[in-house]
């Protein structure tokens, strides 16, 4: 269990890294698609090189990958859209609310039972994320649209998490991870083409060139986050792992402090302390 805990913490670091790159990109929706494609290429190459024995057809694994990637791609797409209509610091805390939904679905679908102190730990982690990131909103119609889109993203993610847990526990974990990444790439391109259906090509409406260095870095970070999280998820309840993954919020703030020279005031100090307290409770109840 300690190795699963460590893997998910590592995943949170890489998750924060690629989200930081999304924040610095010129066109967030387009960049999200680019790194999804890069991630599919990297993970497929990784699987071919290190786990060639994983290449055989297993119907449940295929179905789980198809379902989880569909909901995760929707989550990524709507999260990127929410960033366009409201401040990241306003909508990001809302996108981290998915563990609330996941805990409910896991109880009924996976028969997971979380202790009262475990629930308190999950609540503290999410509360800490909220405290660290929330700011006064813009107060206009587009800002409200961004908030509602972020909530929709979190809700959709919770369904993907259910299929994700069942997928990593299938007999072919590495095939599942590869298929999930490949399908996510396909869905992301498809959703973007639909939303830009008047475009002949994906980049026709993008006023900036492809940021190749950021795409490669983002693809590597997302690949590392994807793989380490799923390997850790094998031996951990999804109710706990999804909350623990929210450590990415803390790591994201720290990265913003060091790389983007963002401020780290009293609000973020308090939020950090609340997150750490929640993580300690989760660790003690695993």
Long-range contacts of 187-195 (CB under 8 A, 24+ apart): 187/69, 187/70, 187/73, 187/74, 188/32, 188/33, 188/36, 188/37, 188/73, 188/76, 188/77, 189/33, 189/36, 189/37, 191/73, 191/74, 191/77, 192/29, 192/30, 192/33, 192/77, 195/29, 195/77
Segments making up each domain of the chain, as ranges: 2-284
pLDDT band at 88 (very low <50, low <70, confident <90, very high): low
Separation between Cα atoms, residue 164 and residue 81, nearest integer Å: 23
Q: Is the pLDDT of residue 137 over 80?
A: no
Is the model more confident about 260 or about 197? 260
State the pLDDT at residue 84.
76
Is the model more confident about 26 or about 124? 124
Look-up: residue for tokens 């950021």?
A: 214
Look-up: residue for tokens 């179905």?
A: 63
Residue 70 half-sphere exposure toward CB, CA atoms < 13 A: 9
Within 8 A by CB and 6+ apart from 14, the residues are 221, 222, 224, 225, 228
Phi, psi of 210 (to 5 degrees): -65, 130
Is the model more confident about 234 or about 80? 234
Do residues 205 and 103 touch, judged by C-beta distance below 8 A?
Answer: no
Q: Is the pLDDT of residue 157 over 70?
A: yes
State the pLDDT at residue 266.
76
Residue from 77, 59, 39 nearest 187 by CA: 77
For helices 2-24 and 28-50, what crossing angle results, to 10°? 140
What global pTM score does this model have? 0.85
Is the model more confident about 77 or about 178? 178
State the pLDDT at residue 208.
54
State the pLDDT at residue 270.
85
Do residues 167 and 180 touch, judged by C-beta distance below 8 A?
Answer: yes
Q: Read off the pLDDT of residues 204-233 as tens digits, 9 standing for 90 and up.
A: 444 556 778 889 999 999 999 999 999 999
Separation between Cα atoms, residue 67 and residue 72, nearest integer Å: 9
* Mean per-residue pLDDT over the chain, rounded: 84
Do residues 132 and 275 touch, judged by C-beta distance below 8 A?
Answer: yes
State the pLDDT at residue 38.
94
Do residues 249 and 92 touch, judged by C-beta distance below 8 A?
Answer: yes
Residue from 73, 44, 19, 35 nearest 210 by CA: 35
State the pLDDT at residue 143.
65
pLDDT band at 21 (very low <50, low <70, confident <90, very high): confident
Separation between Cα atoms, residue 122 and residue 275, nearest integer Å: 9
pLDDT band at 250 (very low <50, low <70, confident <90, very high): confident
Mean pLDDT calculated for residue range 138-156: 75
Residue from 189, 267, 257, 185 nearest 223 by CA: 185
pLDDT band at 247 (very low <50, low <70, confident <90, very high): confident
State the pLDDT at residue 263.
67
Q: Read off the pLDDT of residues 182-198 as tens digits, 9 standing for 90 and up.
A: 999 999 888 877 766 44
Is the model more confident about 205 or about 66? 66
Is the model more confident about 2 or about 8? 8
């Amino acid at each position: 269990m300690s190795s699963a805990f460590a893997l998910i913490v590592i995943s949170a670091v890489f998750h924060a890294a690629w989200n930081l790159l999304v924040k610095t990109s010129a066109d967030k929706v387009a960049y999200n698609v680019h790194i999804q494609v890069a991630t599919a290429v990297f993970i497929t190459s990784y699987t071919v090189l290190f786990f060639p024995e994983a290449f055989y057809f297993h119907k449940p694994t295929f179905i789980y990958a198809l379902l989880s990637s569909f909901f995760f791609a929707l989550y990524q797409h709507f999260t990127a859209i929410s960033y366009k209509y409201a401040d990241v610091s306003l909508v990001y805390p809302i996108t981290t609310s998915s563990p609330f939904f996941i805990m409910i679905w896991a109880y009924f679908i996976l028969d997971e039972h979380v202790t009262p102190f475990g629930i308190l730990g999950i609540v503290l982690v999410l509360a800490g994320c909220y405290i660290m990131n929330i700011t006064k909103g813009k107060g206009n119609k587009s800002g409200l649209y961004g908030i509602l889109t972020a909530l929709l993203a979190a809700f959709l993610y919770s369904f993907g998490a259910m299929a994700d847990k069942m997928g990593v526990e299938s007999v072919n974990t590495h095939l599942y991870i590869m298929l999930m990444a490949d399908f996510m790439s396909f869905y992301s391109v498809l959703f973007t083409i639909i939303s830009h259906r008047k475009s002949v090509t994906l980049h026709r409406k993008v006023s900036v060139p492809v940021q190749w260095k950021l795409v490669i870095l983002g693809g590597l970070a997302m690949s590392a986050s994807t793989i380490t999280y799923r390997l850790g998820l094998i031996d951990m309840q999804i109710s706990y792992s999804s909350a623990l993954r929210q450590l990415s919020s803390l790591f994201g703030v720290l990265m913003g402090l060091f790389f983007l020279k963002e401020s780290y005031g009293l609000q973020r100090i308090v939020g950090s302390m609340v997150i750490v307290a929640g993580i300690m409770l989760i660790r003690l109840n695993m």
